[in-house]
Chains A and B, each alone.
Chain A
């Protein structure tokens, strides 16, 4: 027996790391705080990501207890999201309530694990719920004035779960195994499946922030502390996208409901157009940078839907690529927003002269925003090019044109911030803490490197897409 490959299997390594992480964090709740604990926890997250990437490298696959399964798709997305979660954890190293944050972050990691490795719909719902509840407590742990966003998030999470369970209940008689890959037994009418599809779409639209279920996003993002906003925009939303890919593409294509011109495609076609326009047009008039990024992240979700609507391997590849790309961009951007927020800089006007106050932050934020606007040679452009070409490939030229129009609209509000940052203002310099600087640097460097040579991420995305569709 080869010991190391066996250790790396799904049965052992990943659940072990997550269990160790949760137990470790629970134990440190009882002791005095030490700097080392944070370092250990960040390292555990990093190890989880690395193990997942090694599994991808070794093209490991398998099914565990009919609840979890491993394949290229789950390994790529778990690895990337765990990496993102590690970045978010790094942001919070200096926070007051870091003990609680550590524990809750390891619960989030557990949620990511359940969703990305899901084989049964149950795993997906458990994972999604864990992530949301953990986030609610994270917001609450910052003090009483955060009750409002926490409450909003909690209620919306509950609504989403309710819709999800209702959708599942409609399918249960025809798919008792609840596995996402088996087809339905005889007798399931199109109406029942259609109704279930709409309920699933509503449930996940709440979590991915798709139109018209996205009005909570700006409120909650703006009300929460910046590091948790980074978590919600960077991780929670992306976990929901993983669930979207699993449910709508893997599950509904085994029901014969997915494909170009089919019901799922049509639903996402409409969602995509409205989501892009809604986010972009409202972002145009925002004065607060955090709200602007919240609306911009809504519109970015619309781009991901383009690939799902295209219903081809290329489209799914583009969506997976863009999920990871946007995670990197938005975590980087919200880290800078989080840091400036702690210096009482919130509005676009107050960003004036950032170049002289902290050149590194100004340049990094510029690169991240240009990437979100889809300017080559950055990661956002590579993703958008694939998404738009996939739309043209499946004869949705309209969708591609609308996508391009929207990237053009988004330039207006990103350029507004860039314009402000590079103005001359006589203000004192402000120092960026090392941990935030590290997160920003990692995100920016990855955005540039993958942008210049997108094959690094496109290759794995292609493998993952090959599994999904």
Chain B
């Protein structure tokens, strides 16, 4: 097994390199994403071949006086999310910063976010988890604040306040776990059997704190209001990272606490109900939006609510569905934001009421957007189908016929999206003329994301075989 710390050291080295060789920022960030992808594919391949179900952990001495170690672990969940994150990061840095001149800063922030994302997904204890959680929040903050569009200041402010409130709750929960766990351990995976030895009210407090913290990040109704602003005001690359990877931090945490904490069972029904409400609420909100980036941002809330619903079923198939859903949603939402960014770059306009007949002058982007909608509404041969299938089988297993209810929010999503497509993309009356061309690099981004969507859609067993052996 290769040392997992390489996944943190390599991006850090590239971060330093970009700070020194400012002119080659974009190339270096792409190379960094490629190196990360190669490493993760290697780890993924080796655990696929060996079929090992165990969590692999590596520890280094960190703070001996508190008994805290620098523990890095890969479980099957984190492997899948790492794979997703590195594909998105590669597409993000490859497609470049459309129409904006601050290429170096943008590349620096992408690599910083890469450190945060990799570190979070391979963290073996909650202390490390928290450190990388906050690194993962600071990078997008600047992505919005410096590189964003007109309302970026308010959006970034909202974003940082919500996210750091969530990290304050997380810190409280972590300190409580540290204090009440036998032997003062913070190890995420070995805590699984230890929660039941804590008093019930402490378990409930810890669970609620974790839940609210992750819920803000995912996000779920009623704590979702930061997301549409943040995602629509960020630069294209920022939106791709925020929607594609940052929201998965919360999903990852949710999976971990639902799998490891037995107390979750007493909350699961309410949480499933909340997730359903959240999905429908976001779907209705989405219908009022006219800004194409805001529309895509609202689909994130819908999809993440359905993923939360799937986690709350607390069945093995539901967890698999949630994990596959996160993989699918990460890839497709990055694709949609890239397409939306392309439209904004070409037409200098994001209002779907003004945009007409886009497919006449920008065929590629229009069809990419269309495919994105197909994936979201669960077309077979794409990742969306596999994840929806697993999620709703899990839902029926857990809640009977009511388990199918959230599916209707996806139907609302699809219905509204076909309306958008029909009106703005394929109706050919007085088509809007583009003022700029789509950069070739963006097409490379489309290609990578589409390719991985179809690979994981046609060959879902690559991931499912791994996850089937053991979810952790």
A residues near B, CB below 8 A? 314, 317, 355, 370, 373, 375-377, 381-382, 385-386, 388-389, 392-393, 397, 400-401, 404-405, 407-408, 411-412, 415, 418-419, 422-423, 453-455, 458-459, 462
Contacts and interface: CB of A to CB of B under 8 A. Distances in A.
Nearest to A382: B63
Nearest to B131: A376
A388 B66 CA distance: 12
B65 A458 contact: yes
Interface of B: 61-66, 127, 130-131, 134-135, 138, 142, 145-146, 153, 156-157, 160-161, 164-165, 168, 171-172, 175-176, 178-179
Contact of A388 (B61, B62, B146, B171): B171
A388 B171 CA distance: 10
Contacts of B66: 314, 386, 389
Nearest to A409: B168
Contact of A370 (B64, B138, B146, B179): B138
Contacts of B156: 419
B168 A404 contact: yes
A314 B64 CA distance: 12
Contacts of B135: 376-377
B153 A415 contact: no
B165 A408 contact: yes
A411 B159 CA distance: 12
B138 A375 contact: yes
B168 A407 contact: yes
A407 B171 CA distance: 11
B134 A415 contact: no
Contacts of B161: 411-412, 415
B153 A419 contact: yes
A455 B138 contact: no
A314 B156 CA distance: 37
Contacts of A388: 171, 175
Nearest to B142: A422
Given A370-B138, A412-B161, A458 B63 contact: yes
Contacts of A407: 168
Given A375-B138, A411-B164, A419-B145, A389 B179 contact: yes
A269 to B, nearest CB: 17
A422 B145 contact: yes
Contacts of B160: 411, 415
Nearest to A355: B146
B379 to A, nearest CB: 41
Contacts of A314: 65-66
Contacts of A376: 130-131, 134-135
5 contacts: A386-B66, A389-B179, A392-B176, A400-B175, A462-B65
Given A389-B66, A458-B63, A401 B172 contact: yes
A385 B179 CA distance: 12
A400 B172 CA distance: 8
A419 B168 contact: no
Given A376-B131, A376-B135, A377-B131, A454 B63 contact: yes
